[in-house]
Amino acid sequence: MGEVVSNRQVVLKNSVTGFPKESDFEVTTSTICLKLPEGSKKGVLVKNLYLSCDPYMRVLMTNAHLYFPIDFYTPPQVLYGYGVGRVLESGDPKLKEGDFVWGITGWEEYSVIEDPQKLFKINHRHDVPLSYYTGILGMTGVTAYFGFYEVCCPKEGEYVFVSAASGAVGQLVGQFAKSLGCYVVGTAGTQQKIDLLKNKLGFDDAFNYKEESDLNSALKRYFPKGIDIYFENVGGKMLDAVLVNMREHGRIAVCGMISQYNLEKPEGVHNLLNIVLQRIRVQGFEVFDYYHRYSEFLDAVLPLIQARKLAYVEDMAEGLDAGPAALIGLFSGHNVGKQVVAVAPQSSAV
């Protein structure tokens, strides 16, 4: 028998309508035996260190009135999502005690992960924070990297627009685009984020969409010659304004539409005829399709981080109890950069 310890957990109490509220969650204390359950053949027991707050999680909280063929959360249940953990015991021969992993885990102090095929083992480098595997070196980074280089088919000198530009994915896309010699403008919702985009993240320009009464005019100001590539994170009115500012053969990589997730009925987008007139490609994509190329991604991005050629902004909430507020904060733009929850923070030199 293993030691029985308390296990703090974030529970989603109910399906969510509209903006998620802290009262949709409950942080409770359960207990867990620090030993793999009998009968668990390939399970892995992990101590969770960092949890990732990602906009897609809102989609899983919804009631299944939508038509999506995805696995919604089934409340009440412990929330799950991407995270970084340390292996305490492994039934999978590819992992051993002490290994660090990233992948889907529970929002709790300890989790038993029954399908370790979905975990990535971290070859831990002491010069990179472990929390980065919730973001720039994890799902977020893979999304930004292949979303930009593969889905957008970018060329040097093209005009690139990024929404939610200081967010987890946007900040990376902008830097990838700059490194390729594109002209990059980002949009975000506070002056602090605009400053960050222009001063720290190297965007050519940036604007606060909340201060623009007419998004179409704003885009015409920042892109007098039009947009070649739009990296779409928000949807709705921004997409409508972008559509009338796209250049011929432009590409819209649809990563997400955070402005729509809390609406009972998504906003209507009206300017789709421009897809024909400008011969635009609108391509939805998901990170799952690129995980088999994770090592290629790491080889490209890890050296950039180590050489400090890639900036990265994290917003760290401390402790599981702060988790619900951090997650909810994504939808009001409260986070500055990648929102992470430190469950049991580790210095990089563990």
Query: Which residues would be at the binding site for its own copies (CB under 8 A)?
Result: 59, 67-70, 216, 235, 239, 244-245, 254-257, 260, 265-286, 289
Of residues 287 and 342, the one with the C-beta less far from its own copies? 287
**Burial class of 134 by CB neighbour count within 10 A (0 to 12, 13 to 18, 19+):** buried
Of residues 210 and 249, the one with the C-beta less far from its own copies? 249
The candidate with the shortest Cα–Cα distance to 88, out of 137, 33, 135, is 33
Closest approach of its own copies to the CB of residue 267, in Å: 7
4: tokens are 């029985």
Closest approach of its own copies to the CB of residue 151, in Å: 10
Of residues 67 and 224, the one with the C-beta less far from its own copies? 67
Most distant pair of Cα atoms in the chain: their distance: 68
What angle, rounded to 10 degrees, do the helices at 139-146 and 170-179 form? 40
CA atoms within 13 A on the CB side of 191: 1
Measured CA to CA, the distance from residue 332 to residue 321 in angstroms comes to 19
Of residues 266 and 303, the one with the C-beta less far from its own copies? 266
Do 48 and 106 form a contact (C-beta atoms < 8 A)? yes
Of residues 95 and 244, the one with the C-beta less far from its own copies? 244
Closest approach of its own copies to the CB of residue 286, in Å: 6
Closest approach of its own copies to the CB of residue 82, in Å: 17
Q: Which residues contact 238 (CB under 8 A, 6 or more apart)?
A: 163, 187, 209, 215, 259
The span from the first CA to the last CA of the chain, in angstroms, equals 27
The DSSP bridge partners found for residue 227 are: 246
Of residues 108 and 240, the one with the C-beta less far from its own copies? 240
Region at 236 (left for phi over 0; alpha for psi -120 to 50; beta for the rest): left
Measured CA to CA, the distance from residue 144 to residue 135 in angstroms comes to 10
Closest approach of its own copies to the CB of residue 135, in Å: 19
Of residues 116 and 256, the one with the C-beta less far from its own copies? 256
Closest approach of its own copies to the CB of residue 105, in Å: 23
Closest approach of its own copies to the CB of residue 273, in Å: 5
